[in-house]
Amino acid sequence: MTYGEAVSRLKERFGADAIKTTEFRDNRRIHVGTDTVYAVLECLKRDCGFDMLAELSAADYLHYPNATDRYGIWYVLVNCNDGARIVVKTFANDPDPAVPSVYSLWRGADWMEREVYDMYGVVFEGHPDLRRILMPDEFTAYPMRKDYPMRGRGERHNFPIITRAES
């Protein structure tokens, strides 16, 4: 199914106001709210043939020009039969940034969602195993946030020193 058909099907189902589209270079994006993002992705997977989640990540738009929301989460979907791509974008905000997990649609989302949680603190509701993946478990900050300094806040120096026997 082409991008145009997918968009018209989504507009039919969710209403023209809920689905906003933008294009830049060859990227075609659909902007939806966090309340409808799961249903939109489910519709794109089940009805429109976008069967692979190629990429899922986020950015912190804290200091971005003219930004109104803080955490932007994007999903790049691919149709493995004709190679079509579509980007779905949604925003979450402080104090409790959360979006529904898409693990039940694609198991491949497992580690990608964990990485976003690890780096930005965005909670994926319904994820079966939302733990830190790259940073140590005892780390308390979210290092990719824009208000986190590049050189860290000295967390490393506060790590407890453990002996081999305790490890």
Partner 1 sequence: MPLVLADALAPPEGVDKDYLWTLNFGPQHPATHTTLRLLLTLDGETIVKAVPDIGYLHSGFEKLGEHLDFNQYVTIVDRMNYISPVANEIAWHHAAEKLFGIEITPRCKYIRTIFAELMRIHDHLLCCGAAALDLGGFTAFLYAFNQREKIYDISEWASGQRFHPSYTRLGGLMKDVDDEWIAKVRAFVREFPKAWADVVRLLNKNRIFIERTKDIGVLSREDAIDLSCTGPIARASGVVRDLRKDEPYLAYKDFDFKVVCATAGDCLARYLVRMDEMLESIKIIHQAIENLPPGPVSVDMDSKVVLTNQMSVYRSIEGLIQHFELIMTNRKWQAPVDEVYGAVESPNGELGFYVVGDGTGVAYRARTRPPSFIHFAIFPYLMVGHQLSDVVAVLGSLNIIAAELDR
To 10 degrees, the CA torsion angle through 131, 103, 80, 82?
Answer: -120
User: Rounded distance, CA 131 to CA 19, Å?
Assistant: 32
Q: Can you tell me whether residue 28 is helix, strand or coil?
A: strand
User: Rounded distance, CA 99 to CA 88, Å?
Assistant: 13
Q: Which is nearer to partner 1, 17 or 83 (CB)?
A: 83
**Residue 32 in contact with residue 90, Cβ under 8 Å?**
yes
CB of 126 to partner 1, least distance (A): 11
Q: Which is nearer to partner 1, 4 or 128 (CB)?
A: 128
CB of 97 to partner 1, least distance (A): 16
CB of 109 to partner 1, least distance (A): 8
Residues that bind partner 1 (CB under 8 A): 24-27, 51-55, 57, 59-60, 63-66, 74, 76, 78, 80, 83, 85, 87, 106-112, 115, 119, 128-129, 131-136, 143-144, 150
Q: How many CB atoms lie within 10 A of CB 91?
A: 20
CB of 95 to partner 1, least distance (A): 22
